[in-house]
Every structure is written in structure tokens, then in C-alpha cells.
Structure 1
Amino acid sequence: MRLRPDQVQQNLAKGLLPIYIVSGDESLLVQECCDAIRLNCRKQGFSREVMHVETGFDWSELLASAAAMSLFAERKLIELRMPNGKPGDAGGKALTEYAANASADNVLLIICNKLEGSSTRTKWYKNIEAAGASIQCWPIDAKQLPRWISNRLNMVGLRASDDAIKMLAERVEGNLLAAVQEIEKLRLYTNADVIDADTITAAVADNARYDVFGLVDRALEGDRKGSLRMLQGLKAEGSEPLGLLWALSRELRTLCQCAEQIEQGNGVDRVLQNQRVWDKRKAVTKSALQRLRVKQLQQLVKMANHIDQSVKGMRPDNSWDLLEQLVATLAGAKLAIKH
């Protein structure tokens, strides 16, 4: 079966499954899911054995460990740490065999970083899902973050105004660990029945951690204020303008091609499919295409080329100022574009 991170506790209350695979690039959620499984195993008297899948790992050790009786308990938690999520042929066969003969006396917990789609379609992965559960921990995006923060506050007995939650979300965006730390600080800091924005201002540091792909999506959504804030955050973190420009230029070229095909009478959904736009990104792409026409996008592509020359020292302009103008215009601002 497949579980969301917020379903893990409820599922564990029904009893332990023989296999779990927890994956994702949101380290806090991965850690919390694994901790919940470990705690349940510990409460039921399981011993724990940790294996690291590295070059030369002997997969027969996994099967041997599952078959061996623990010296300290009759039941065992086998924690298999496999960062890249690619067991290879030998590992795939071993995991498939393990899933086919999974015992209620053991729990196998496989921990991976974010898995590629090709990994989740493999035979070994599907067999694990059939015998146990897969838990993919996706990052909490900006739209989901306020609700996530509200639920976290409630978990520790706190309530906050909408403005306070919005401000906290802005300050910890992209950094869930910082969000949890700040909520714990608030629990110790205030005795107020409802936390307000002034309390957030006084108690919470600015821990936002941004990434260029989040910036692109925010601009495509038309969130000018949010996208410019992310751009400033990336600049403060020491990001290179050329890396940001690469991601923005790639998106602009795709948008330009889509807009040209739509102008020729092709349906939006068909165009997005032809351009291989991911399902998860179709909504933000459509939002941008409804706002921007072909000529505007062509101007933005020219501006991106101008910025590229500026970054490489071929023009005297300030590349960060131009990037700010590009992002703002992509997000819907009516700014004059010079080229």
C-alpha cells in the first residue's frame, strides 16, 4: 500500500507491517516517519539491526539476518539504509525474495533519498508495496505550508492568528526543520492563548531556504511578491545568477513554444503533453500561459539573453537587477523591458 507521511501514525495504530520503504528529499518528514516506525517496534520488544548499502554490499546478509534469531529478542527491526534507492540486480532479487517471504517476526525498514520514477516502477519496489507500505515524503510547498504549520501548532497546544501563521510560513519556507524549531521556541516563549503577528516578529528568525525551481513556480503562478522574496533569499544564500538564469531561460523557452502552438489553434492540454510538461507542473504552466502572450514571452527570452551577456561580463548592466526585473515581469508586473 501507499501511505502519506500524515497517515503513518494512524496506520501504525492498526499494527506493524512487515516492510516499509520511506523515501524523499524532505529530511524532517523522512526522519519522523522512520522514528514512528522505530518507536512502535521498540515498544513491542523488537531488537534493531542497521545495514548500509554501499559498494560491495552483500545482499545475502539481508536474507541471513531475516532468518537468524536475535540474541536479545525474538523479533527484529532490520533498518536498511540505501540512499540512492538503486539496489542493482542482486539487490532487486534479494528484496523481491524478502517481500515474497516476509515474516511477522521481523520488520524491514528501507530508507532512501528521493526516488526516481523508474525506481518506483521496478519489480522489487512493487513487491515491497504489495507486502508492506511505501511512504514518499514530498516537500511541503508554499500553499500547503500554512495549514501544516497550523496543525503543528495544534499538536503542541498552540493556536495562532491567520496573520501570524502567514508570517511564520514566510520566515521558514523551504525549511521544515526550522519550522519545527521555531514552533518549539514559541511554545516556550509565550503564554498567550492565540499567538499574533507581533509575537512572531519578536520570537522567530528568518529561516527561509529557497530553491531555484520553487522560484520559477512562484513566478509562473503570478506571485510577484513571493517570487521576488525568493530571489532575494537565493541571492543572500550565495546562489550564482547564471544557475538561476539557466532555470528561468529553460522555462521561458518552453512557455514560448507552448504559446506559439496555442496561438496556432492547438488545445492547451495537447500542447502541454507535446512539450512533456509534468502533470504536477501543468497548473502553474497554464497560469503563466493565460497571463503571457507570445510577444511578451519572446521579449522575456531576449531579456534572458541580455542577462546572460551581463553575467559573462559582455555588458555593463547589474545582472541581479535584471534578474529581478525578469522575475517580476514573468510573475505579471508591467515593467519596461530593455534589450
Structure 2
Amino acid sequence: MKIAAAQLAKNLTSMPLPAVIWLSGDEPLLVLEASDLIRAQAKKAGIEGRISIDVDGSFDGSELIAANQSLSLFGDRELIELRMHAKFNDKGRKALMEYIAQPNPDNLLVIVSNRLEAAQTKAKWFLQVVAAGWWLPIWPIEHSQLSGWIRTRMQQAGLQPEPDALTLLVDRVDGNLLAAKQEIDKLQLLAGAGQVSAEMILNSVSDSSRYTVFDLSSAFLSGDLTRTLKIMHGLAGEGIEAPIVLWLISRELRLVIELCEAQVHNQSVQEVFKRLRIFEQRQKDYQSAMRRAPVNHYQRCLIACSKIDAMIKGQTKGDPWTLISEMLVAISAPQLPAYQL
């Protein structure tokens, strides 16, 4: 039968293991985790042995038939895994049908493949496999679902992400679930349980870099153009992703705009610093930016950040680092005509 990925854990604990389970999908992490669940439940059921067979274009099924008919050295039950690197040829498909017709009740066959084509899922032989066991099609997490998926994963790890932290992490991993898992594991080691701020995300990203994103922030806010571009190129060379830098620029622009607007309306800038939790040693950087250009300049810069975001996401062609460097010039040295806002 066909089952959804969300049903797997429940089915494994509430139903007997079938003769065959087929996992198909293009998301490596979800396929790996589903495989791990099956192996763990198989072990609980007394299936201690494991045989892994790679299926390529020359696979003739003889290894599968031999594994099905033989007993292990110690008489253990076997988990037989077929790792699909190519479609079954005629011989391989015939061997699979032979296995399905007379499965060894002591064994469990697990087939792991990439996403299946619609025509394949309607083939008579495939329907026979599904009738004999479970077919688990695993679909990628859509971009609209990614934020919720990461939030759930972080909460399961004992982490409570602040909204900005979640947004930043989603931009950083860009749909790569393996990367998301690695980042969450890293945050768990660095922070333990509790709140996760955007600053913690940034620290975890740049902790092994020569420069940090905070160095970049201080440089462009204070108007040191030479140091700004040097740090930006250093971060890019060290593998810091463009979305991280864009997020930082956008955040700092919003803070500068809020401070400028408070000043325009004769509000206490010090009260705004206090409310925004901007420490005294960093206040001079923001004050330098406020003196360098009027609020409408920074508002145009913030709007122009959408162009960089579109390029990062592949919606427009070009190198986002070029636009980022031009944006940093516009912030650090607004008198220079380097950026068309």
C-alpha cells in the first residue's frame, strides 16, 4: 500500500513489518531519516543482520535471490537493502518479482530510490510490489513550508528561535534540509536549550572566519569604505553566503531609518538606542551613519535590497556580490554615484 511519510512512524509501531518497503524521493535527509526509522524498528523486531546491494545498469538480481534464499552465518534475520542507482532492467525486475512471489518471512526488503516517474508507478510490476508491502513517496519540503519545518526541528532540539533568527536560518539553508539539520545541531551545541537570536545565528556562521559579519556592520555604518569592501571580499572568500550579508545590511538599514525618524520627530535618540538594545560601544557607528545621509537615502537603500534578494534567488541574472558591494558603497559613501537607487 501507499503511505505518506508522516504515517511511517505510526505504521512501524502499530502494524507488522511487510515483506518490502520502497522509499522514493529526492530529499536526501528525509529519505535517510525514513531509512533509519525502518532499521530501528527492524532491529526491535529481531532483524539484526543487514545486506546492502547497489543496483546499477548491470544488476541481474542474482544477489537479491541469493540473499533471500540463504541464511546468515549465525541464523540472524536479514534486512536487505537495494540502493537504486539506475532503473531495474528486465533481469533485475524479474528477480524482484520472484522475491515478491516468495519472500523469506525472516527477512525485510527495503528499496531506496530517487523520485519515481509517474509512468513507473502505474506499471503492473510496480503495483505488485506496492500490493506486497509499503510504498513511501517522500516529497521535498516546499519553500512555503520550510520555515515551519525548521521551527519544528529547532523546538524538538529544545531551541526557541526568535522570528529574525528563523528568517535568517531559512535564508541561509535555502531549502537544503541537510544543511538545516547541521546548523540546528551546531546551534544546539553552541547554545544548549533556550532562545536563539539572530546574533547567535550570525555567530555560528562566522565563528571560524577571519572576519565576522559584525566587523562588516561596524565598517559600513561608520563609513569606512576601504575596510568595508576588504571585509566583504574576505567574508565572500571564506564562504559566508550572500543571504547572510544581505540580511545584515537590511537589518542595519532598518535600525538607522528608525533612529533617523526619531531624530526628525525630535524624539530622544538615546531612548531609541535603549529600546533597540544597541550597546554604547556600537552607538557611535549608528550616529555616524545618521550624520552621513538623510533618512530618505537609507529608505531607498532598503528598497533596493529587494533587487539583491531577487538575484540571490535566481529571479534575475547576475552576481549578487556585485550588487552587495555597490550597496555597501551607497551606505558607506553616499556622495559617490556607485549605486542607482
Describe how 1:227-266 pairs up with structure 2 within 5 A: 227-231=310-314
How far does residue 207 in structure 1 lie from its aligned partner after superposition?
6.0
- The aligned residue for residue 63 of structure 1 is 65
CA distance in 2, matches of 1:90, 1:237: 50
Percentage of matched positions with identical amino acids: 40
Contact 2:165 2:197 in 1 (8 A): yes
Q: Name the CA shift for 1:133/1:237 in 2 (closer, same or farther; >3 Å).
A: farther
Residue 272 of structure 2 is aligned to residue 189 of structure 1: no
Which SS does the other structure have where 2:72 is aligned?
A: coil
How far does residue 112 in structure 1 lie from its aligned partner after superposition?
1.2
Q: Name the CA shift for 1:149/1:45 in 2 (closer, same or farther; >3 Å).
A: same
CA distance in 2, matches of 1:237, 1:228: 6
CA distance in 2, matches of 1:37, 1:201: 36
Describe how 1:288-303 pairs up with structure 2 within 5 A: none
How far does residue 47 in structure 1 lie from its aligned partner after superposition?
0.8
For structure 1, which runs of at least 5 residues remain unmatched after alignment? 210-222, 239-317, 321-339
How far does residue 148 in structure 1 lie from its aligned partner after superposition?
0.8
For structure 2, which runs of at least 5 residues remain unmatched after alignment? 207-239, 244-305, 324-341
How far does residue 236 in structure 1 lie from its aligned partner after superposition?
5.8
Contact 1:46 1:73 in 2 (8 A): no
Contact 2:310 2:316 in 1 (8 A): no
Q: Name the CA shift for 1:167/1:138 in 2 (closer, same or farther; >3 Å).
A: same
How far does residue 234 in structure 1 lie from its aligned partner after superposition?
8.4
Residue 5 of structure 2 is aligned to residue 5 of structure 1: yes
Which SS does the other structure have where 2:6 is aligned?
A: helix
Contact 1:174 1:208 in 2 (8 A): no
Describe how 1:87-166 pairs up with structure 2 within 5 A: 87-166=88-167
Q: Name the CA shift for 1:46/1:161 in 2 (closer, same or farther; >3 Å).
A: same
- The aligned residue for residue 51 of structure 2 is 49
How far does residue 192 in structure 1 lie from its aligned partner after superposition?
6.0
CA distance in 2, matches of 1:41, 1:237: 48
Describe how 1:148-227 pairs up with structure 2 within 5 A: 148-191=149-192, 193-204=194-205, 227=310
Structure showing greater radius of gyration is 2
Contact 2:120 2:126 in 1 (8 A): yes
CA distance in 2, matches of 1:110, 1:72: 24
User: What residue identity is the alignment partner of 1:57?
Assistant: F
How far does residue 233 in structure 1 lie from its aligned partner after superposition?
10
**4+ residue segments displaced more than 6 Å:** none
Describe how 1:9-24 pairs up with structure 2 within 5 A: 9-14=9-14, 15-24=16-25
CA distance in 1, matches of 2:153, 2:54: 32
Contact 1:96 1:123 in 2 (8 A): no
